[in-house]
Amino acid sequence: MVELALGLGIAISLLFTEALGLASAGLVAPGYLALYLDRPARLIATILVALVTWAAVRFGIARFVVLYGRRRFGVTILTGFVLNLAFARLVPLLPVETPELRAVGFIVPGLVANTALSQGPWVTIGITLLAAACVRVLLVLIAYV
């Protein structure tokens, strides 16, 4: 099922890029997110970590280090990874029990943040969620998920 979601996510991401000129967050992010569309807490946590990562790189790290190309990608993925680890450690300390409040994977928030650095966070989040919804619809039609 994961393989099918990833393949569909890559195909839909490429179609959106060609048709709309807008990129979803990495080629694999819509496929992974499509598997969690029925868990809004996971999506919210992923978007939250991605936005904090975007802000940290855009308004923090990029002011002190020249970031472009692979360096920017690597720094954004690493920042998202570290912030996701920190978020995962902080959630159990909340007074309310929220076991589902964690991001989808460790790389997806960094992929969202990296694309957001190029085309803006709201466009990136919107197009990525739209692509994930399309993947989910196709998964339901193909595999009855």
**Residue-wise pLDDT tens digits, 68-109:** 889 999 999 999 999 999 988 887 777 776 767 788 889 999
Please give the Cα distance from 123 to 116 (Å, whole number): 8
**Residue-wise pLDDT tens digits, 34-65:** 999 999 989 999 999 999 999 999 999 989 99
Determine the average pLDDT of the residues in 17-32. Answer: 90
Higher local confidence (pLDDT), 9 or 100? 9
The pLDDT, as a whole number, for residue 99 is 67
The pLDDT, as a whole number, for residue 72 is 93
| Tokens found for residue 64 | 């002190």
Confidence of residue 1 (pLDDT cuts 50, 70, 90): confident
The pLDDT, as a whole number, for residue 118 is 92
Determine the average pLDDT of the residues in 12-31. Answer: 91
Judge whether 22 and 123 are in contact, CB under 8 Å: yes
Confidence of residue 145 (pLDDT cuts 50, 70, 90): low
The pLDDT, as a whole number, for residue 87 is 87
DSSP, res 26: T
Judge whether 82 and 53 are in contact, CB under 8 Å: no
The overall average pLDDT reported for the chain is: 91
List all residues 6 or more positions away from 100 whose beta carbon is below 8 Å from its beta carbon. 39, 41, 42
Please give the Cα distance from 30 to 13 (Å, whole number): 7
Judge whether 117 and 72 are in contact, CB under 8 Å: yes
**Residue-wise pLDDT tens digits, 106-142:** 999 999 999 999 999 999 999 999 999 999 999 999 9
